[in-house]
């Protein structure tokens, strides 16, 4: 039986990480309200638990709407946020917020935390689940004012966690990272391989046999 990997994410960056690693995922986007899920969590929830719960909410939502693949599939949900001075930062959405974020993190370091949830479905039922998160330290450069203006004007930082990318234009303003680069992009291959193993799927089973 063929196992299908369903990516519960609209992120083209996550999709490309998987494609570069030999997997062509089926993409199904959840309609999860991330802000509402995070707001409903207890105040004492750790940053790591927040991103894991967001990833799980996305995976669970998509698992209920993939009947054509539910005979045997894994649904993968992810969520990334930047931890700066103990505060989680998601997508800025507006130029003003993006500029404020960069004023806070330029020339400094912060941790990009990515939650992962893998659900195994057999005959339409969730039979196994594995969750965890990865953390990578990002050392930011100090963009010149005109560089930052140009970057924000592209719109790229408005819809990505922490107002930066590693694999896009934002990569010009990252001095170095400590950890897994794929996790910074949004889906950590080393962690995902372990989670897939937890639910009984070897990563080689998924190489180049699914289509979008």
Q: Which residues on adjacent β-strands are paired with residue 57?
A: none
Tokens of 132: 């965890």
Count of CB atoms situated within 10 Å of the CB of 54: 24
Catalytic-role residue among 79, 111, 132, 180 = 79
Q: Is position 132 annotated as part of the catalytic site?
A: no
Which residue's structure tokens are 């203006």? Answer: 149
Q: Is 4 helix (H, G, I), strand (E, B) or coil?
A: strand
Kindly list the catalytic residues.
79
């Amino acid at each position: 039986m063929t196992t299908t990997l369903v990516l519960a994410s609209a992120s083209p960056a996550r999709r490309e990480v998987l494609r570069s690693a030999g997997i062509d995922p089926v993409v199904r986007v959840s309609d999860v309200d991330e802000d509402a899920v995070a707001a409903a969590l207890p105040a004492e929830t750790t940053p790591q638990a927040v991103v894991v719960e967001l990833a799980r909410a996305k995976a669970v939502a998509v698992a209920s709407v993939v009947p054509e693949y539910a005979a045997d599939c894994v649904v993968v949900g992810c969520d990334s946020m930047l931890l700066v001075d103990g505060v989680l930062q998601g997508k800025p959405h507006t130029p003003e917020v993006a500029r404020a974020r960069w004023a806070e993190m330029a020339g400094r370091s912060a941790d990009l935390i990515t939650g992962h949830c893998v659900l195994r479905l057999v005959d339409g039922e969730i039979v196994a689940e594995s969750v965890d998160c990865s953390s990578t330290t990002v050392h930011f450069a100090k963009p010149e004012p005109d560089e930052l203006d140009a970057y924000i004007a592209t719109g790229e930082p408005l819809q990505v966690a922490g107002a930066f990318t590693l694999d896009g234009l934002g990569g010009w303003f990252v001095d170095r990272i400590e950890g897994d680069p794929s996790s910074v992009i949004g889906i950590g291959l080393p962690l995902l391989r372990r989670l897939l193993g937890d639910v009984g799927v070897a990563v080689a089973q998924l190489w180049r046999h699914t289509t979008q």
